[in-house]
Amino acid sequence: MGTQLFWFKRDLRVHDNEALSSAAAMGAVLCVYIVEPSYWRCADASQRQFDFLRECLRDLYRQLQALGVRLHLLTGEVPEVLERLHQQLAFSHLHSHQETGNGMTYKRDQAVARWCAARGVHWQEHVQNGVVRRLPSRDHWSELWSQRMQAPQKPVPAMTTAPWPWDEEGWPDWQAWGLPADTAAQRQRGGRTEACRTLHSFLNERSAQYRGGISSPLSAANACSRLSPYLSWGCLSLREVVQATEQALSEPRLDAWTRKGLSAFISRLHWHCHFMQKLESEPAIETRNMHRGYDGLREDDFNALHFERLCLGQTGWPLVDACVAMLQQTGWLNFRMRAMLVSVAAYPLWLHWQQVGHWLARQLIDYEPGIHWSQMQMQSGTTGINTTRVYNPIKQAQDQDPKGIFVRRWLPVLRRVPDTWLLEPWKMPASVQAQCGVQVGRDWPVPVVDLQEATRAAKARLHARRNTHEVRQAKQPIIDKHASRLRRDRTGQASAPAAQAQLDL
Ligand X SMILES: Cc1cc2nc3c(=O)[nH]c(=O)nc-3n(C[C@H](O)[C@H](O)[C@H](O)COP(=O)(O)OP(=O)(O)OC[C@H]3O[C@@H](n4cnc5c(N)ncnc54)[C@H](O)[C@@H]3O)c2cc1C
State the Cα–Cα distance between residues 331 and 334, nearest whole angstrom.
11
Residue 64 or 235: the one with the smaller Cβ distance to ligand X is 235
Q: Whose Cβ is closer to ligand X: residue 10's or residue 338's?
A: 338
Is 52 part of any known ligand binding site? no
CA distance 146 to 458: 40
Q: Give the relative orientation of helices 78-88 and 103-119 as an angle to the nearest 10 degrees.
A: 30
Q: Does 226 bind ligand X (CB under 6 A)?
A: yes
273-312 binders of ligand X (CB under 6 A): 275
3-state secondary structure 36-86: CHHHHCCCCCCHHHHHHHHHHHHHHHHHHHCCCCCEEEEECCHHHHHHHHH
Judged by CB under 6 A, which stretch of 123-131, 248-256, 366-374, 425-433 contacts ligand X?
366-374
* Residue 93 or 272 with smaller CB distance to ligand X: 272
Task: Report in angstroms how near the CB of residue 216 gets to ligand X at its nearest.
Answer: 13
Subset of residues 377 to 416 that bind ligand X, contact rule: CB under 6 A: 379
For the CA atoms of the chain, what is the radius of gyration?
Answer: 24
> CB of residue 372 vs ligand X: minimum separation in angstroms?
4
Total residues contacting ligand X (rule CB under 6 A)?
29
Q: What backbone torsions phi and psi does residue 446 show, to the nearest 5 degrees?
A: -80, 135
Q: How far is the CB of 302 from ligand X (least distance, A)?
A: 18
Determine the Cα–Cα distance for residues 226 and 198; give it in Å rounded to an integer. 7
Report in angstroms the alpha-carbon separations of 375 from 78, 198, 369.
Answer: 29, 25, 10
Closer to ligand X by CB, 148 or 226: give it: 226
For residue 104, which of 37, 33, 173 has the smallest C-alpha distance?
Answer: 37
* Residues between 314 and 343 that touch ligand X (CB under 6 A): 334-335, 338-339, 342
- Note whether 362 binds ligand X by CB under 6 A: no
Is 6 annotated in a binding site? The answer is: no
Report in angstroms how near the CB of residue 489 gets to ligand X at its nearest. Answer: 17
CA 165 distance to own-chain centroid? 36
Q: Which is nearer to ligand X, 3 or 363 (CB)?
A: 363
By beta-carbon proximity to ligand X, the closer residue of 237 and 334 is 334
Binding ligand X (rule: CB under 6 A), the pick from 131, 195, 224, 311 is 224
List, in sequence order, every beta strand (DSSP E) within 166-222.
Answer: none
List of residues 6+ apart from 351 with CB closer than 8 A: 298, 302, 303, 306, 307, 310, 345
**What residues numbered 200-219 form the site for ligand X, per CB under 6 A?**
214
Question: Least distance in Å: CB of 114 to ligand X?
Answer: 29
Find the shortest distance in angstroms from Cβ 503 to ligand X: 5
Residue 3 or 289 having the CB closest to ligand X: 289
Report in angstroms how near the CB of residue 407 gets to ligand X at its nearest: 19
Among candidate residues 130, 157, 155, 156, the one with its CA nearest the CA of residue 144:
130
231 binds ligand X (CB under 6 A): yes
Is there binding between residue 271 and ligand X (CB under 6 A)? yes
Between the CA atoms of 204, 209, 213 and 217, what dihedral angle is there, to the nearest 10 degrees? Answer: -50
Question: Considering the complex, what minimum distance in angstroms separates the CB of residue 111 from ligand X?
Answer: 25
Q: Name the strands in the sheet holding 29-35, side by side, starting at the edge strand that comes first in the sequence.
A: 71-75, 29-35, 4-8, 93-97, 122-126
Please tell me whether residue 128 binds ligand X under the rule CB under 6 A: no
Least Cα distance to 275 among 364, 378, 362, 358 occurs for 378
Q: Which is nearer to ligand X, 218 or 224 (CB)?
A: 224
Q: Are 28 and 161 in contact (CB under 8 A)?
A: yes
Instruction: Report d(CA 462, CA 459) in Å as an integer.
Output: 5
Instruction: Give the nearer residue to ligand X in terms of CB position, either 21 or 392.
Output: 392
Which stretches of the chain bind ligand X, using CB under 6 A? 214, 224-228, 231-232, 265, 268-269, 271-272, 275, 334-335, 338-339, 342, 364, 366-368, 371-372, 375-376, 379, 503
Where is the binding site, in residues? Answer: 210, 265
Where is the binding site for FAD, in residues? Answer: 210, 265
